[in-house]
Amino acid sequence: MIDPETQETPTQLPLPAGFLEPGTPQRIAEPVLPPAVSRPQPPVDTAIDALIRHFRDVERRRESATRRPQRLAARLRHWFRILTRQAEGPQALPATHDVWPRLSVVMPILGPITSLYQAIEALLAQGYPDLELILVSPFGPALLLDSLPDHQSQIIALSIHEPADLVSALRRGFARASGEILCWIEPSSIMLPGSLARVGSHFRTADAEAVLAMDVIREVSGWRFAAEPGFDPAALFISRLAYDVVGGLDSITEDVPSPESLATMLATMLAGRIAGHYGLRHIAVHAAVVSRGRRDIDADMATGAAGDTAWDAPATLWFAPDSADAIPMQELVAAAAPSPSPIDGSAPARLLFASPDTRFGSPGLHDVWYHAASHCTTIAPVADRGEVRRLAAQQPPLAERRIIEPEPDAPSPWRDWRFGARLLAFALDHPLPGWLLDRWPLKRLIAWTDRTGLEIGEITRSLLPPREKDRITARDALEIGCHSGDILDHLHRQGWKTHGTEINVAAAEAARAKGHIIWAGAPDDLLQTVPIEERFDLVFLGHVVERQADPLALVQRAARLLKPTGLLVIATPNLDSAQITLFGPTWAHWHPPHHRAILSRRTLGLMAAASGLRLRRCRSWSHPYWTWLSVRLNRAGLAGIVPNGIVPDSETRSAVETLILASRLLDDWRGRGDYLYAALSLDLRV
């Protein structure tokens, strides 16, 4: 049958019941902002009563959930998940209202206005449907509005008389505001795309907090990274009703705080008052603001927390450079929009750090974002399929790859960085003697040979049905992205009938010459590459998923090629790796921009649930060669280049082998190894 639109013949059967169409993953897109809707405000007394009931209900539910037996069971489950890294199911979406709340942004302008117009443009470019921007300044409204002729109808400018201070400016701006959400933001803060949509979506939820703080994303010499957890927020959002109930800013009588601590003071004061009235115990924190100018990082910057500020990423995923002197100059470019989640398309929770290409040295910096709900990271700017293929084609040949290390006195972020994993750090700094490491059985545990075939056998053991003795044909295996067929060679020796797909023409020919059945094509064209009648007992995705622009779509396409009793095996870097805690941003598997996503066991469980699959088994391992790449990059910092394919040097060999031995004993067996293997099967229960 010919498709009337494309005039092409489809190459795969229609999806069976329970599956998704290829290229259309089951995900929930970011909310599309509707046009502004005017609605009558409820009576103040009624609204305040509703707010009081809401927070009392929150407190009642919290108390009922913390009874001693439940608390003990919760702790046991918590430590069991930490020990085994069990995957969790998808989380239910919060209930939302029908309209977007009005957002009143107050921007006091009491000093230099170097970044003012950039900040205003970033706010107005958000496209939020019901935004009110209030500028409060002693300079008078005419001076400000004359410089913004295109936006005069969207801005309210207020004049404040001397003496002008931040508290009085905020008090006047909040009094003039008509929105349901009040916001204070500094004129030096540049809000990232999509930030206001996240704020509005947050306050639309039925269980939203009354105080929402946006943390600072530092930008130093062109590098962007997350500020220290608990540092003063760059923007503060407050429910108008909660602000009125606790008395607002009218009770502030102390001296005017410094600009650096005003947001912290407001967050602490308002959260403390609301907690005293209604039991609210935390402030939600979302990354949204790039702060420049006087907020550049300083070696002795304050570390005080703003109330009970929540950190949306594990403490092991917080990285900060040692000082501003360690940051080399980069070209200052605008921050890209945060990359969406590979599971549901939602916005990320935190920026972790910015990194260049430390593997092959391609130009530019890339932002690494963390997604708390799916426990994975993604790279911004977002790349399409064409960009992913271009990056793969740009990898230099092995003969041209060289390690490039900066001079010892040259700035290089995160050089020799250490944060946690003390036992691994001790093993790295105190290597065992070579004669002991060469003894059996230690030599077997730290072998440098390719263990992929053995790891596939280990992860699939007892999950595949036994081979029938009278069966003439062997079981069928497919490797997606097989390159020259080294892994297929191992499977063929184990009795498999081997197939593969490969986009590199020369590598595909080399694999065919070994006797394998190879189809030429990219992973994202899988269903157009593999013949329509082919189905497999084993489909292997070996370090391919993390390189895709849409990893979930690839998993869903691969699931269509399984036999009813077949297994989909995925190998990918592990976001729960203990080596991330040790090496931080110099962990070799970050590899931006080629690795578009770093996944975890939880992420793989969510991807399986969204693809009609079951996560049958998940294990982690560490390999000396990848650890050696991390050790060399850690010594060079992010200004260095350490490509794969280089022969390891003898100087670091003993240290790496000792570290691998420690990983085998301490981390691999509990899911904190360097990379993951997951075995997924069709969920025949649905």
Together in a domain, 587 and 494: yes
Give 71's contacts (C-beta < 8 A, 6+ positions apart).
none
Residue 443 forms part of a structural domain: yes
Residue 74 forms part of a structural domain: no
From 289, 311, 333, the end of a domain falls on 311
Model pLDDT for residues 157-191, shown as the tens digit of each residue: 666 665 567 778 888 888 888 888 888 887 777 77
Model pLDDT for residues 407-439, shown as the tens digit of each residue: 888 888 888 888 778 889 999 999 999 888 888
Instruction: In whole angstroms, give the CA distance from residue 574 to residue 90.
Output: 19
Residue 48 forms part of a structural domain: no
Model pLDDT for residues 70-80, shown as the tens digit of each residue: 656 655 665 56
Question: What proportions of the chain, in percent to the nearest 5, are helix, strand and coil?
Answer: 35, 20, 45
Together in a domain, 180 and 264: yes
Q: What pLDDT score does 153 carry?
A: 53
Residue type, 268: T
| Higher-scoring residue by pLDDT: 20, 299 | 20
Helix pair 259-278, 166-176: axis angle to 10 deg: 50
Together in a domain, 193 and 295: yes
Length of the chain measured in residues: 686
| Higher-scoring residue by pLDDT: 443, 300 | 443
Q: What is the CATH number of the domain that holds 215?
A: 3.90.550.10
Q: How far apart, in Å, are the Cα atoms of 39 and each of 36, 56, 144, 272?
A: 10, 26, 31, 31
From 250, 282, 311, the end of a domain falls on 311
Residue 26 forms part of a structural domain: no
Model pLDDT for residues 531-590, shown as the tens digit of each residue: 999 999 999 999 999 999 999 999 999 999 999 999 999 999 999 999 999 999 999 999
Residue 2 reports pLDDT greater than 80: no
Q: How far apart, in Å, are the Cα atoms of 517 and each of 73, 374, 539, 558, 596?
A: 53, 36, 14, 17, 29
Residue 349 forms part of a structural domain: yes
Residue type, 180: E
Together in a domain, 152 and 202: yes
Together in a domain, 179 and 290: yes
Q: Give the mean pLDDT of 122-145.
A: 76
Residue 243 reports pLDDT greater than 50: yes
Residue 234 forms part of a structural domain: yes
Residue 678 forms part of a structural domain: yes
**Residue carrying structure tokens 């957890």:** 229
**Sorting pLDDT into bands at 50, 70 and 90, what band is 441?**
confident
Q: Is 608 exposed, middle or buried (0-12, 13-18, 19+ CB in 10 A)?
A: buried
Together in a domain, 336 and 394: yes
Residue type, 142: A
Give 274's contacts (C-beta < 8 A, 6+ positions apart).
55, 210, 211, 242, 245, 246, 280
Together in a domain, 454 and 521: yes
Instruction: In whole angstroms, give the CA distance from residue 269 to residue 508.
Output: 65
Together in a domain, 268 and 343: no
Residue 302 reports pLDDT greater than 80: no
Instruction: In whole angstroms, give the CA distance from residue 175 to residue 106.
Output: 10
Q: Is 381 exposed, middle or buried (0-12, 13-18, 19+ CB in 10 A)?
A: middle
Residue 280 reports pLDDT greater than 80: no
Q: How many CB atoms lie within 10 A of CB 253?
A: 6
Q: What is the CATH number of the domain that holds 389?
A: 3.40.50.150
| Higher-scoring residue by pLDDT: 223, 162 | 223
Which of 198-207, 439-448, 673-682 reaches the highest mean pLDDT?
673-682
- State how many domains the chain has: 2
Residue 42 reports pLDDT greater than 70: no
Give 369's contacts (C-beta < 8 A, 6+ positions apart).
338, 339, 348, 350, 351, 352, 377, 378, 379, 380
Residue 294 reports pLDDT greater than 60: no
Residue whose C-alpha is closest to residue 596's, from 429, 408, 392: 392
Q: Is 349 exposed, middle or buried (0-12, 13-18, 19+ CB in 10 A)?
A: buried
Together in a domain, 498 and 377: yes
Instruction: In whole angstroms, give the CA distance from residue 554 to residue 539.
Output: 12
Together in a domain, 305 and 397: no
241 neighbors 48 (Cβ within 8 angstroms)? yes
Q: What pLDDT score does 70 carry?
A: 60
Q: What pLDDT score does 319 carry?
A: 82
SS3 of 465-477: CCCCCCCCCCCEE
From 282, 311, 340, the end of a domain falls on 311
Q: Which domain holds residue 499?
A: 314-462+473-686
Helix ranges (DSSP H) in 430-576:
434-437, 442-445, 452-460, 486-493, 505-513, 526-529, 551-559
Together in a domain, 537 and 680: yes
Q: What pLDDT score does 362 carry?
A: 85
Q: Is 66 exposed, middle or buried (0-12, 13-18, 19+ CB in 10 A)?
A: exposed
Together in a domain, 482 and 600: yes
Instruction: In whole angstroms, give the CA distance from residue 234 to residue 20.
Output: 42
Residue 291 reports pLDDT greater than 60: no
**Sorting pLDDT into bands at 50, 70 and 90, what band is 620?**
very high
Residue 58 forms part of a structural domain: no
What rounded mean pLDDT belongs to the chain?
76
